[in-house]
């Protein structure tokens, strides 16, 4: 646990009592603060009461009396589409609003760091797609290299729930736009930007606000080094903002659409990762046969993780060897079975059009299980990537409406996952890939994308 610093004998209010909220409460108490908390759901309040945490409804008059800071969980809107009543009350009363990530960066540097031979370093990774895989891959590389690494944030454990990093220790944080948008302190040693595609637009007031939330990771504290994907205009702009000239080695640019030879760059083309520095090739890794990194989208993740590992001083051969043993993440291009020469892949994390498109581009002949709670914008942007789809099996409560948008693709309305798996198994031929890449949220039928992926895996396992 990272005890919260700077609020000794003061009152911290915590709004939202899920994983991060409860971890924040414990860390605040460990740091000597008083804690009051609230959750709009009875289950969250019950969990807090079971740990002896005092409750108070902050949206009521005087609900924030004597409070030094309001700490908000990531899922609670603070600006768009409208602030939560408790957050509005805090802003009107002049109470600072923060989150656990802000408290982490404020608290993680302990007084004994100056006595260490190698002070701990923090790598923070954000972006629209691939940040979970990039974070997990980098953590895997560091661990395989014999370094002490902890993985936290939007993946793994809450940021305040990890152990204080030791001499030479490393912390890899995956940070969502919800987390970077509100944190009052953001000071990683290395910051990584994977890419940008439309997502969470209602929470950020549009694409510009979404990008601005991501950009805060690079603008607020100023990382020592940055790794930035430049295949979208926003990434190209961000990279330009971070350098003083072409030879500025504080930045590594990343691409999977073009060869990069200026400055320090990492790119992937035709399955080969290349590193260029000062106009010369420094290293190359063949990614084509690495089972845990299929497809161009994972090659982009590999480039981002490689760049961060190089910033930390790892040799290319060490990184390449660790890539070979990377097992992949659950629900992210995860091969769960190969039966009768048919491969079953769980990409339940593909909850938006762009991430699903990347999965569809990774395999040559696909039977596609898709559907769920559709996000704004429709499916038209997905269709150019669906050329390898033999047939779609559509699930979800609005499966028929979803299927009608799949112009030019044979689609069968299955509604349930069980029916979709059954039909795909009946029709799949040797060499086919049955891919769960929903291109939609899970909440119409499942609590989260993990539960959706687990259901898919269980049904595949049950096939005779």
Mind spelling out the 3-state secondary structure of 393-422? Answer: EEECCCHHHHHHCCCCCCEEEEECHHHHHH
Q: Is 133 marked as a binding-site residue?
A: yes
Check if the beta carbon of residue 348 is closer than 8 Å to that of residue 449: yes
Phi and psi (nearest 5°) for 308? -65, -40
- Residue range 75-134, pLDDT digits in tens: 899 999 999 999 999 999 999 999 999 999 999 987 678 889 899 999 999 999 889 999
Strands 121-126 and 190-193: parallel
Q: Is residue 1 part of a domain?
A: no
Indicate whether 6 belongs to any domain: no
Regarding whether 394 and 268 lie in a shared domain, the answer is no
| pLDDT confidence of residue 358 | 87
* Residue 408 belongs to domain with CATH number: 3.90.190.20
The residue from 324, 348, 364 where one domain ends is: 324
Q: Do 79 and 117 reside in the same domain of the chain?
A: no
Mean pLDDT of the 51-69 span: 93
Clarify whether residues 123 and 149 are in a common domain.
yes
Same domain, 361 and 443: yes
Q: What is the dihedral of CA 348, 353, 358, 362, to 10 degrees?
A: 70
pLDDT at 15 over 90: yes
In the sheet that holds 97-98, the strands lie side by side as 54-55, 34-38, 11-15, 67-72, 97-98
For the chain, give the percent of residues with pLDDT over 90. Answer: 83
Q: Which percentage of the chain shows pLDDT scores above 70? A: 100
* pLDDT of 221: 79
Residue 206 in marked binding region: no
Q: Are 233 and 289 part of one and the same domain? A: yes
Q: End of a domain among 284, 305, 324?
A: 324
Rg over alpha carbons for the chain, rounded to the nearest Å, is: 23
| 214 annotated to a ligand binding site | no
- Ligand-binding annotation for 304, yes or no, is no
Q: Are residues 126 and 240 in the same domain?
A: yes
Tokens for 426, please give them: 């009946």
Number of folded domains that form the chain = 3
To 10 degrees, the CA torsion angle through 213, 216, 217, 220?
A: -160
Last residue of a domain, one of 324, 348, 379: 324
For residue 159, what pLDDT band results from cuts at 50, 70 and 90?
A: very high
Residues 91 and 148 in one domain: no
Question: Does 369 reside within a domain?
Answer: yes
Tell me whether residue 237 is in a domain.
yes
CATH of the domain at 48: 3.40.50.720
Q: Are residues 314 and 346 in the same domain?
A: no
Question: For 296-326, how does the pLDDT look when each residue is reduced to its tens digit (9 = 90+)?
Answer: 989 999 999 999 999 999 999 999 999 999 9
Question: Does residue 329 fall inside a structural domain?
Answer: no
**Residues facing residue 411 across a β-bridge:** 392
Residue 307 near residue 227, CB atoms below 8 Å: yes
Picking from 59, 80, 68, the residue whose alpha carbon sits closest to that of residue 32 is 68
**If DSSP codes are grouped into helix, strand and coil, which group holds residue 356?**
helix
Q: Is the pLDDT of residue 458 over 80?
A: yes
CATH number reported for the structural domain that contains residue 152 in this entry: 3.40.1190.10
Q: Are strands 34-38 and 264-269 parallel, antiparallel or unpaired?
A: unpaired
Contacts of 441 (CB under 8 A, 6+ apart): 351, 372, 373, 374, 375, 449
Alpha helices in 14-65 (DSSP H): 19-30, 42-50
Domain presence at residue 231: yes
Q: Is 131 annotated as a binding residue?
A: yes
Would you call 173 helix, strand, or coil by DSSP? Answer: strand
| 130 is annotated as contributing to ligand binding | yes
pLDDT-based confidence at residue 217 (cuts at 50, 70, 90): very high
pLDDT digits (tens, 9 = 90+) for 241-261: 999 888 889 999 999 999 999
For the segment 331-350, the average pLDDT, to the nearest whole number, is 92
**What pLDDT does residue 72 have?**
97
Instruction: Provide the domain limits for residue 79.
Output: 11-98
Q: Are residues 78 and 203 in the same domain?
A: no
Q: Tell me whether residue 347 is in a domain.
A: yes
Q: Please state, in angstroms and rounded to a whole number, the distance separating the CA atoms of residues 434 and 207.
A: 33
Provide the pLDDT for residue 376.
Answer: 75
Give residues with Cβ within 8 angstroms of 462, minimum separation 6.
Answer: none
Q: Quickly state the pLDDT bin for 19 (edges 50, 70, 90).
A: confident
Same domain, 52 and 119: no
In this model, does residue 329 exceed pLDDT 90?
Answer: no
119 and 90 within one domain: no
Q: How crowded is residue 364: how many other Cβ atoms within 10 Å of its Cβ?
A: 9
Q: Is 388 one of the annotated binding-site residues?
A: no
Instruction: Assess if residue 135 is contained within a domain.
Output: yes
Are 153 and 251 found together in one domain?
yes
User: What integer pLDDT is reported at residue 30 of this predicted model?
Assistant: 96
pLDDT at residue number 385:
95
């Amino acid at each position: 646990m990272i005890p919260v610093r700077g609020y000794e004998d003061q009152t911290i209010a915590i709004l939202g009592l899920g994983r991060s909220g409860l971890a924040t409460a414990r860390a605040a108490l460990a740091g000597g603060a008083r804690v009051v908390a609230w959750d709009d759901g009875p289950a969250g309040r019950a969990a807090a009461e079971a740990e002896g945490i005092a409750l108070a409804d902050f949206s009521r008059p005087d609900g924030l009396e004597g409070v030094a800071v309001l700490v908000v969980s990531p899922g609670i809107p603070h600006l768009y589409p409208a602030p939560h009543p408790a957050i509005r009350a805090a802003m009107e009363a002049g109470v600072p609003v923060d989150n656990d990530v802000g408290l982490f960066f404020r608290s993680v540097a302990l007084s004994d760091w100056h006595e260490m031979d190698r002070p701990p370093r923090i790598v923070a990774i954000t972006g629209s797609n691939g940040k979970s895989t990039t974070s997990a891959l980098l953590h895997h590389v560091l661990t395989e290299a014999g370094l002490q690494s902890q993985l936290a944030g939007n993946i793994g454990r809450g940021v305040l729930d990890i152990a204080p990093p030791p001499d030479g220790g490393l912390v890899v944080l995956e940070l969502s736009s919800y987390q970077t948008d509100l944190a009052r302190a953001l000071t990683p040693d290395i910051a990584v930007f994977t890419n940008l595609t439309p997502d969470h637009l209602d929470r950020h007031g549009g694409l510009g606000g979404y990008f601005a939330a991501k950009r805060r990771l690079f603008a607020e504290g100023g990382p020592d080094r940055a790794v930035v994907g430049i295949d979208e205009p926003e990434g190209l702009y961000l990279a330009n903002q971070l350098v003083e000239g072409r030879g500025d080695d504080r930045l590594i640019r990343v691409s999977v659409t073009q060869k990069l030879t200026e400055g320090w760059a990492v790119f992937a083309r035709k399955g080969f990762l290349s590193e260029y520095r000062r106009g010369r090739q420094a290293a190359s890794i063949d990614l084509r046969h690495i089972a845990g990194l299929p497809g161009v989208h994972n090659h982009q993740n590999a480039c981002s993780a490689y760049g961060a590992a190089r910033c930390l001083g790892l040799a290319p051969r060490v990184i390449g060897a660790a890539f070979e043993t990377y097992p992949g993440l659950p629900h992210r291009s995860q091969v769960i079975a190969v039966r009768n020469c048919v491969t079953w892949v769980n990409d339940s994390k593909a909850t938006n059009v762009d991430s699903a498109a990347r999965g569809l581009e990774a395999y040559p002949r696909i039977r596609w299980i898709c559907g769920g709670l559709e996000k704004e914008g429709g499916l038209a942007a997905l269709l150019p990537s669906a050329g390898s789809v033999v047939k779609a099996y559509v699930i979800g409560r609005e499966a028929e409406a979803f299927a009608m948008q799949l112009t030019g693709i044979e689609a069968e309305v299955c509604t349930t996952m069980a029916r979709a798996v059954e039909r795909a198994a009946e029709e799949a031929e040797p060499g086919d890939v049955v891919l769960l890449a929903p291109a939609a949220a899970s909440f119409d039928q499942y609590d989260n994308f993990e539960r959706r992926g687990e259901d898919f895996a269980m049904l595949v396992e049950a096939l005779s």
